[in-house]
Amino acid sequence: MRKRKRTGWRRYVNGITISTTVTVLFVTLPLYLMLASSFKGAKGIGSAAFYPKDFSTSNYNNAFSQYTFARYILNSVLIAVITTALVLFLSTMAGYALGRLPMRAKLPVMVALLMISVFPAIAVIAPLFLLMKTIHWLNSYQALIVPYTAFNLPFAIWIMRNYMLGIPKEMEETSRIDGAGPLRTLWSIVLPQAKPGLFTAGIFTFTACWTEFLMALSFNSDNNFRTIPVGTALFGSPFTIPYGTIFAASMVAVVPIAILVLIFRKSVVSGLTAGAVKG
């Protein structure tokens, strides 16, 4: 019986190991192929080689010299950073109110936020476009900052509210006894304890803004306001597609997200775990 149990346990562990390895390969292999192709020359792009035989950095040079890729990076950084700051500020206030303060109709509010967070953006593109046109916001930064904030805020509120629930109330009560008000308590007591939740909400929001395509394509047709996804997709001409330059630009776009995840990976895991367990 013991041998059978041990054999069954080993099969279970081996199955998990194999599935994890397959998943990792499935995710990393396309990234590696994109990286390798970004260093291939014009002749090597169509080859099936797993490494660049004619190593060249011309694709990266073309992205910045032939196209205004640096402008796309600047636009994406401005929009993503401002949106993330707004979402973190608003979600912290709302999450604290929903998680710590006495409120009526909390459940309907949370259900409404959940419904908004899964609502498809394509369903509101047409009315949003008409609204942006009416208020003369097309081809501007606010044309993306405001919708991005609205669409990312519900999920961030869920994360912050769930994390707020796990902070001991005794700490807030002690602060109130010392004479601190709600805002002072939030800033000095709650926020230092909620850093993993802030990092989680911030990284998810920044990534969503950095990679969003549909709204950026619909609202900003001016090249001066295009973001990285739209600008990269429009590389080339109707008759030629510079795949190597597109791969190079895509690799540059992946770097900030990879750096953020590597730096704050422990905080993100902690924030998601706290939200899932304590929410």
Give the residue extent of every domain in the chain: 58-278
- 172/169 Cα distance (integer angstroms): 5
Residue 5, burial from CB neighbour count under 10 angstroms (0-12, 13-18, 19+): exposed
pLDDT of residue 12: 60
pLDDT of residue 277: 46
pLDDT of residue 6: 53
Both tokens of residue 41?
């020359």
Regions of the chain with pLDDT less than 50: 1-2, 275-279
Residue for token digits 């007591």?
189
**DSSP string spanning the chain?**
-HHHHHHHHHHHHHHHHHHHHHHHHHHHHHHHHHHHHHT--TTTTTS--SS-SS---HHHHHHHHTS-HHHHHHHHHHHHHHHHHHHHHHHHHHHHHHHHS--SSHHHHHHHHHHHHTS-GGGGHHHHHHHHHHTT-SSSSHHHHHHHHHHHHHHHHHHHHHHHHTS-HHHHHHHHHTT--HHHHIIIIIHHHTHHHHHHHHHHHHHHHHH--HHHHHH--SGGG--HHHHHHT-S-SS---HHHHHHHHHHHHHHHHHHHHHHHHHHHHHHHHHHHH-
- 47/40 Cα distance (integer angstroms): 9
Per-residue pLDDT reduced to its tens digit, 208-224: 999 999 999 999 999 99
Closest to 203 in 3D by CA, of 270, 139, 135: 270
The Cα angle at residue 256 between residues 250 and 262, in degrees rounded to 5: 120
HEC secondary structure over 97-126: HHHHCCCCCHHHHHHHHHHHHCCCHHHHHH
Per-residue pLDDT reduced to its tens digit, 220-240: 999 999 999 999 999 988 788
- 27/228 Cα distance (integer angstroms): 22
Does the domain at residues 58-278 carry the CATH identifier 3.40.50.2300?
A: no
